[in-house]
Amino acid sequence: MSRYLCMDNSNFNVQENLKICEKFTEFKEFFFEKGVSFFDKDLKLFEDDEVFREFENRIITNFDASHRKNTEKYKIQLNGASKKFRHFFANLIWLYNYPIADKKRETKLSELRIYLNNGYNQDILENTVLEHGIASYGRLSQYIYYDINFLYFFTKEYIKNKAQSPHDIIENINLYELMKDLTTEDFKNMKWLSSKHILHYLFNPDYYEPIVNTECKRKIVKYFLKKVSDSTLDEDIYNIRKNTYGFDKSLYHICEDSTLDVNDTKVLKKVARIIQKSISKNDYTIKIEPQNDIDILSVEKTKIENGLKAEEIVYQEELKRVNKTVLINQIAKVYNIKEFGLLTQNIDGLMHYSKNFDNFAPFDLLSTRDENLVYIEVKSTTGNEIYFSKGEIIFAYNHLKQYFVKVVSNGIVYDLDIKESFEEIYNKITNNSSLWSCETFKLRLEFL
């Protein structure tokens, strides 16, 4: 059945995935049923509403809107917190991190140590975190604040009303309204979150898929049924498995390429990771020392041609996945444009923004992910190095949750996770004024 499938690994190990499922069953027994900390079975958490009131006050009402990393924000927000609340918060963090396959075990443990603040047994803590996870989160991890809050409101309702179906609780959570009642901050109305998908799966792994990406589920349903309804996504996928596809193979490859044969279980997701970031001024600066004018013209012409081809490849991909209605509405909202007719007429051109409107823009394409506007930067390389301008670094840092980088090498498109690297580069040049004289920054990649 689907409970044994690891969505991003076609060569899944049944025993390993069974162990992962059993770990949540253990957590559920202690945290949700007995109401004690997973890290201290003698510490009762829900004898009163103390942890609920404190979470809402510390994490939501006193929201930290800075650009600091989430671990730094939460560490500050937990300053002065009791052992009881730290354990409650750490249990929510464990629940968030537990299913993530693309996050290192040591990173998960490190976060728990920070939030528990020495109030834990090392051996017990080590035993709670497994080496592997269930699902790939990728850039969905940028919504961790919303996900943690969703898990919180689910926990609060589940503890107070265990007779209610957990799936009904999940579906009835209106995160936007619940958060709006506690703060004046301007939050996004996030209707589809990884936490929503993963909670459904964890509480019934024989029915729901271990897939946390809404768009991925839509692609699967559209591939088989030719039409999609968000209200019946999970029901449709289950019926697809039951009536046609079966339960013995992962469906995830269909998310990556809808032209594949349904019997092909090969995972086609292409990812590039940054393996080297220079930290000195000289390393960041590109130096070109041509032998003669013809050489540099030839090199630059080839680069430009490769770049244009790369942008076109990614542009054609985005045309297949963009929601143009959302794109028009979001562009109008973000840039305060009232002429919807003009936007509609020129939307394809606006999508390929750098080509048609501004060659020096800090992004190449405009597109959408779910209900959000995103900026896509396309980089082309024939080796393993790519370059970013200072303007691109600044823009990317200020729009990290909306900024995607696509690297095209030999006609293949790779997704590049830039969050940590761009934060590091931005902080380095911000803290060292001399580095602002650098106009170009180099990253070395490894293609996976």
What's the confidence (pLDDT) of residue 7? Answer: 46
CA distances from 346 to 258, 339, 351, 386 (A): 28, 11, 9, 31
Q: Determine the angle formed by the axes of helices 144-160 and 83-97, rounding to 10 degrees.
A: 110
| pLDDT, mean of residues 391-401 | 87
pLDDT tens, residue by residue, 316-325: 999 988 999 9
Q: Which has the closest alpha carbon to 362: 374, 375, 352?
A: 375
* pLDDT given at position 304: 54
CA distance 30 to 153: 18
The pair of three-digit structure tokens given for residue 25, joined into one six-digit string: 């069953």
User: What are the Cα distances from residue 9, in Å, to 6, 21, 204, 268, 282?
Assistant: 6, 16, 21, 10, 41
C-alpha distances in angstroms, 429 versus 15, 277, 420?
47, 13, 14
- Choose among 434, 352, 441: nearest CA to 391: 441
pLDDT in tens, 186-213: 888 888 899 999 999 999 988 998 889 8
List the structure tokens of 47.
Answer: 């004898």
Q: What percent of the chain has pLDDT over 90?
A: 41
More confident residue, 400 or 11: 400
Q: Where do the domains of the chain lie? A: 2-212, 271-447
The gap from C-alpha 237 to its chain's centroid, in whole angstroms, comes to 22
Looking at residue 275, what is its pLDDT?
A: 55
**Chain position carrying tokens 């929201």:** 63
Indicate left, alpha or beta for 138 from its phi (over 0: left) and psi (-120 to 50: alpha): left
For residues 24 and 15, is the Cβ–Cβ distance under 8 A? Answer: no
Outline where 352-414 has alpha helix (H).
Answer: 353-356, 390-398
Q: What is the four-CA torsion angle of 316, 321, 323, 324, rounded to 10 degrees?
A: 10
Residues 343-380 pLDDT 10s: 888 898 899 998 888 888 899 999 998 888 999 999 98
Are residues 179 and 149 in contact, defined by beta-carbon separation less than 8 angstroms?
yes
